[in-house]
Amino acid sequence: MGWRQAITGFWRRWFPTPSLGQRGETAAARFLKRQGYKIVARQQENRLGEIDIVAVDGRTVVFVEVKTRASADEAPEEAVGEQKQRRLTRLALSYLRSHGLLEYAARFDVVAVTWPDGRRRPTIEHFKDAFSSPGSGSMFG
């Protein structure tokens, strides 16, 4: 094994290449910052699941689901079906409760990132207020 291979192996072990999903979330966060959003949390996990990005837009708490795909053949935003919407609603309510933010307006956005292999930059689409909370009488609906 040559010294280049040894260094490359060492580098990859200590600094692994981010996954497509991780790269998409980073690109989405940068995009939202450029749009004037304040990113307050990323990858917020609890027993119910994970919220990709929590941001603030004016006085509104925004829960952002990021969907990243390598191909434009499938629309990333279509992956946020009713079951995912229900889970995100429960996660958002839990987040608002635990941070004392129940009195603030909240909404759900989807950021669709398409990043084909070999491209330096992705295509990003932002769907504001992408869905309202499923179920009647909810605080989001």
Per-residue pLDDT, 141: 45
Amino acid at 81: G
β-pair partners for 44: 51
Report the distance separating Cα 107 and Cα 92, nearest Å.
9
Per-residue pLDDT, 71: 78
Per-residue pLDDT, 129: 93
Per-residue pLDDT, 69: 87
Task: Give domain limits for the chain.
Answer: 19-131
Q: What is the mean pLDDT of residues 105-115?
A: 93
β-pair partners for 112: 67, 125
Q: What is the mean pLDDT of residues 23-50?
A: 94
Amino acid at 101: L
Architecture of domain 19-131: 3-Layer(aba) Sandwich (3.40)
Query: Taking the complete model, does pTM exceed 0.75, yes or no?
Result: yes
Question: pLDDT per residue over 66-97, tens digit each?
Answer: 998 887 777 767 788 899 999 999 999 999 99
CB 48 within 8 A of CB 87: yes
* More reliable by pLDDT, 61 or 8: 61
Mean pLDDT (the chain) is: 85
Per-residue pLDDT, 137: 44
Question: pLDDT per residue over 5-31, tens digit each?
Answer: 666 666 567 666 677 778 889 999 999
Per-residue pLDDT, 136: 42
Within its chain, how far is the Cα of 120 from the centroid?
20
